[in-house]
Chain A
């Protein structure tokens, strides 16, 4: 077992106005003993920059109002450029059409969390993607 504290960076894309979901997830992960860094709203490349700087294990993105696919693509391109796409795990939470789920997985999001995900599910999937 990995004894090191799991370090998670949480961010939403620039225009996302909701934050109840991401704040909820932050409290779940913290209660489970993880280190959570929340950086508010940012463009994809800014998120990747912060991920590199903080040297996190997991990057969690919140998307509630569309753009998950388009901005997810930009995020992954940026991660690839910085060489972190394979050594950090990317997770997305929010509201997205069911038909986009396989596309998001293909882009490189290891786990997708939807409204109503329980603490157990959220913490479980973060641990799983770190261990994978």
Chain B
């Protein structure tokens, strides 16, 4: 870490002289306190008084204890301007934009991609025609793990949970007829290395279609949290090198594709793997801080870098906790930018996010119950002020969503938007004593967790040492025991479970060996038709750049142009950096 002080210490130092103007009159607070005590002692049952605070136990919840009732006394020192403010204005608690959903409804971005590139193109067009406002491309497992469709490891997995992409020709098919300068494209590349390999194929496709890179909107994931903490794989490169790859991508994208969100700081997959929303946010913020420090060292202004930073959260079942912490995240990120990086530009102080409802919270037993779970989660995400949303399919525990499942998830979002009318009023829960209190608690808990990571030596060190892997494994075991003994209640599963419950017939994505064979044939032909000497020299240039410290993304662009495949590029990173052994904690 380049800075000695923790983020929390920086805040304490910079905020201690700030004069606070409490919203509530101290005299009124005193009176409310008296009235509250009297009410509690005379009107509330003894049993409720004794159990005043209850700890909610939910899947992926943080177990912040809740009182039975909240009053102004719980937020007696609330300073409206400093803590809540107006939307689109510091501290952004109420939202990144002044008019929020009146200006632009959250982007309805259903993850899709399955089967062949051709089938995926059809699905993307189907969703756009049904009212989706962005595309969100899911890759199949070999593509995520950077293996070509014809490698032996890929057997049985080509086109199963996403689309296969081996080289530029697949990108051309997937995005055929889609106006990629108008419809934003989210490409779920997961890892820094994968983003460095796959995204150049998108850019080469775009230039072949005559688009100027500078006009393209969209996002890639590009997150080391995904590659080195959450992911399991046969091979890893060392975290410090992977962090550099992540930053090379950022530098390249910021300069060459300026409308592109160069990272989606990942909380989602980390949390779904096994952690609460406090750790989810602390880890994403720790990575964000590490990136800005690295870019500062490379000579860039953090304000210029941060304006395209985006976050990705999971929203689970504890309704008010989720809403509160989404508000807290905006305020905390604002403070990090302002006080840690001396940001001057409001745009860089915005914590903008994409949310996916929690897949882990969905059950295989009575799958139709999941429609209800996802709808409540989606509602929480919207009341929390998300910019973009994916609602999980009810059949999550059976298969990747088929067309009708995607449509139901899309309809969930459209019903919330068009029928419930919750989007008419910005941040409607602000001022609730409960929600404001919970927002404060969430913010300070994330800050404490961030400090713990900083004291571990910072983000990359906390990965290298296995500290994060340990945290996850122990969270999984702890949560599982609570499900076993019924502390965490899951309706239909361990709460009011029917003894004779049967699985309904649910259609699953078919695994078709023909699909893999077709993909392999296309790939074979591609390899035959390209200039193999050119490809070899481009692949060699990747190794050289990895070793010399030059920005590697420029080299993978060249390689993609020459026709290099994903697997060919993957191997070059291992050649240059060697392998890292991920701590296998159970």
Contact = CB atoms under 8 A, between A and B. Distances in A.
29 contacts: A10-B586, A12-B232, A13-B153, A15-B145, A15-B153, A15-B154, A17-B145, A18-B232, A20-B274, A23-B476, A23-B477, A27-B477, A27-B480, A31-B481, A40-B584, A41-B232, A43-B234, A65-B140, A65-B161, A67-B155, A68-B156, A69-B156, A70-B155, A71-B155, A97-B511, A114-B364, A115-B363, A116-B364, A118-B494
A93 to B, nearest CB: 12
Interface string B136-167: 00001110110100001111110011000000
Q: Is the interface of B mostly helix, strand, loop or mixed?
A: loop
Nearest to B484: A119
B488 to A, nearest CB: 13
Contacts of A28: 480
Contact of B586 (A14, A36, A42, A119): A36
Interface residues of A, number: 42
Contact of A23 (B360, B513, B586): B586
Contacts of A14: 145, 153, 233-234
Contacts of A114: 364, 397
- Of all A-B residue pairs in the complex, the 10 with the closest CB atoms, nearest first, are A67-B156, A66-B160, A70-B156, A27-B477, A26-B586, A97-B508, A14-B153, A115-B397, A116-B364, A67-B157
A10 B585 CA distance: 12
Given A15-B145, A43-B152, 7 more contacts: A15-B233, A24-B477, A38-B586, A41-B234, A115-B364, A116-B365, A116-B397
Interface string A102-132: 0000000000001110111000000000000
B484 A17 contact: no
B181 to A, nearest CB: 32
A52 interface: no
Contacts of A22: 586
A75 B154 CA distance: 15
Nearest to A38: B586
B449 interface: no
Contacts of A97: 399, 508-511
B177 interface: no
A39 B234 CA distance: 10
Contacts of B153: 13-15, 43
A17 to B, nearest CB: 5
A30 interface: yes
Contacts of B319: none
Interface in A40-68: 40-43, 65-68
B392 interface: no
Interface string B570-586: 00000000000010111
Nearest to B145: A15
Contacts of B585: 23
Contacts of A31: 477, 481
B503 interface: yes
Interface in B386-439: 397-399
A114 B367 CA distance: 14
Contacts of A26: 586
B254 to A, nearest CB: 28
Nearest to B190: A17
A22 B480 CA distance: 12
A6 interface: no
Residue of A68, A74, A116 with highest tally of chain B CB at under 10 A: A116
Contacts of A23: 274, 472-473, 476-477, 585-586
A15 B142 CA distance: 7
B451 interface: no
B259 interface: no
B273 interface: yes
A119 B234 contact: no
A6 to B, nearest CB: 16
Given A14-B153, A23-B473, A67-B157, A95 B484 contact: no
A45 B526 CA distance: 31
Given A39-B584, A40-B582, A15 B157 contact: yes
A15 B511 contact: no
Interface in B546-585: 582, 584-585
A43 B156 CA distance: 13
Contact of A17 (B232, B365, B508): B232
A69 B511 CA distance: 10
A34 to B, nearest CB: 12
A115 B370 CA distance: 14
Interface string A71-82: 100100000000
Interface string B252-271: 00000000000000000000
B340 interface: no
B40 interface: no
B373 interface: no
Interface in B103-157: 140-142, 144-145, 147, 152-157
Nearest to A17: B231
A95 B399 contact: yes
A66 B516 CA distance: 12
Contacts of B142: 15
B493 interface: yes
